[in-house]
Structure 1
């Protein structure tokens, strides 16, 4: 049966989907899951795997870690410890004061600067591993 965390996850996903102005069908397609399965997740009837949560997070353009906490896979403190790895892109995507078109423009500019400086990773996604990004060096 569904646990309390799964219900919270479903409510959270529905809120995120609505704030992204996506229909259930649009999100399901973007995440690569079936429409009925996503509906069951939102209603708290299914507990998705970490892989499915990652696909949904990518489609919603939010960090997978946020969904892992909602699903009870990660403890909040685990996410707090990993906050240093959250990219500038994730911060841009989370900003409610700018619209989606403005977010995309900022991400493209940021990505072009990173590419110019030799960084080829996607700035719009938080890392999925705590060791994926080396510590930042400061220039003197």
Structure 2
């Protein structure tokens, strides 16, 4: 497992918080963490868990995967794929089935081009929950 790069994570969180025009206290309240704890994360003094990162991402309206990359939980080389997947999943103009189909197409292009897909399991797990078109059996 990668080591946490807490300093860069803190700087990134502070930048995202400022872009969202939230005070430290507002973000802490929205994420359900204490103000001092969030301050320590931003200053690079604390290593938040994946669960806390997820809460912060939700409060900031950004993908949790982006914070995982910043924290070193996900490899940097996977960042482009993570961001692409997050953008597809966050798009409000397409429905869930369309998102899953688009992700499957994206993964097939990555395989065709020799790029090892790291999130293929995520796509296959959720694809089973999706309705199937006629002839997919």
Does the 8 Å CA contact 1:85/1:133 hold for their aligned counterparts? no
- Structure 1 unaligned regions, length at least 5: 92-106, 120-126
Tell me how large the CA RMSD over aligned residues is: 3.3
Name the larger-Rg structure.
Answer: 2
Structure 1 equivalent of residue 95 of structure 2: 114
Structure 1 residue 134: deviation in Å?
Answer: 2.6
State the 1:10 CA deviation.
Answer: 0.4
Displacement of 1:65: 1.0
Q: Secondary structure at the match of 1:85?
A: helix
Segments of structure 2 that go 5 or more residues without pairing to the other structure are 100-118, 133-137
8 Å contact kept, 1:57–1:67: yes
In the TM superposition, residue 69 of structure 1 has moved relative to its aligned partner by 1.1
More helix, by proportion: 2
Deviation at 1:24, TM superposition (A): 0.5
Aligned pairs for 1:58-137 (under 5 A) are 58-88=58-88, 90=90, 107=92, 110=93, 114=95, 130-131=122-123, 132-134=125-127
Distance 2:21 2:84 in 1: 29
CA distance in 1, matches of 2:7, 2:98: 42
Deviation at 1:5, TM superposition (A): 1.3
Q: Which runs of 4+ in 1 moved over 6 A?
A: none
Q: For residues 8 and 71 of structure 1, what CA distance do their matches in structure 2 show? A: 8
TM-score norm. by structure 2 comes to 0.64
1:8-47, aligned counterparts within 5 Å? 8-47=8-47
Contact persistence 2:9–2:70 (CA under 8 A): yes
In the alignment of these two chains, the number of paired residues is 107
Between the aligned partners of 1:118 and 1:74, the Cα distance in structure 2 is 26
